[in-house]
């Protein structure tokens, strides 16, 4: 099983994105990133308040998804705005409420047991995928690779 983590963020005025794919043990399988992008004054004027959404979603996230060489079983994001970029993306959020069994809240939202509490997953998820994720969560910290990806993006921004 391969799980991908997609993040697109603004760090010190620079926009950067990364995609980290790992296997079910957390070992990296693939890493892609964009060079930091700094919008010029004209772009800031023309895009106005939508500049962040455009750069993080349309420019960065879509580019990274196209560059992916191996198709992962799941692609997780933490930013709800990125869900609009691609139907394959799943928003994952750690919750404090405890659930004992996988629970479908709505057609596009499930709660799964995780480390004594739960995670909420939003997106297109089948019952079969919900079962796969519930099994994965029993042995793998699905949130930890986001920390590695975040540190890698900070490192890349500081180098450029």
Domain with residue 78: its CATH number is 3.30.2170.10
Q: Which percentage of the chain shows pLDDT scores above 70?
A: 99
Give the domain range for residue 63.
2-159
What rounded mean pLDDT belongs to the chain? 92
Whether pTM > 0.85 for this model: the answer is yes
Please state, in angstroms and rounded to a whole number, the distance separating the CA atoms of residues 37 and 40. Answer: 9
Q: Give the count of domains, the chain.
A: 1
Q: pLDDT of 92-136, one tens digit each?
A: 999 988 999 999 999 899 999 998 899 999 999 999 999 999 999
Q: Average of pLDDT values for 76-96?
A: 92
Q: How do beta strands 89-95 and 28-33 pair?
A: unpaired
């Amino acid at each position: 099983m391969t799980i991908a983590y997609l993040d697109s963020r603004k760090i010190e005025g620079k926009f950067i994105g990364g995609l980290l794919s790992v296997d079910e043990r957390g070992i990296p399988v693939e890493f892609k990133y964009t060079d930091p992008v700094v919008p010029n004054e004209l772009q800031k004027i023309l895009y106005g308040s939508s500049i962040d959404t455009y750069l993080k979603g349309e420019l960065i996230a879509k580019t990274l998804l196209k560059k992916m060489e191996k198709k992962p079983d799941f692609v997780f994001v933490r930013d709800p705005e990125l869900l609009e970029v691609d139907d394959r993306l799943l928003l994952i959020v750690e919750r404090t409420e405890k659930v004992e069994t996988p629970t479908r809240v709505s057609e596009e939202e499930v709660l799964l047991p995780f480390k004594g509490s739960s995670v909420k997953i939003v997106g297109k998820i089948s019952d079969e995928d919900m079962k796969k994720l519930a099994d994965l969560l029993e042995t793998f910290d699905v949130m930890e690779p986001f920390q590695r990806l975040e540190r890698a993006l900070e490192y890349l921004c500081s180098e450029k």
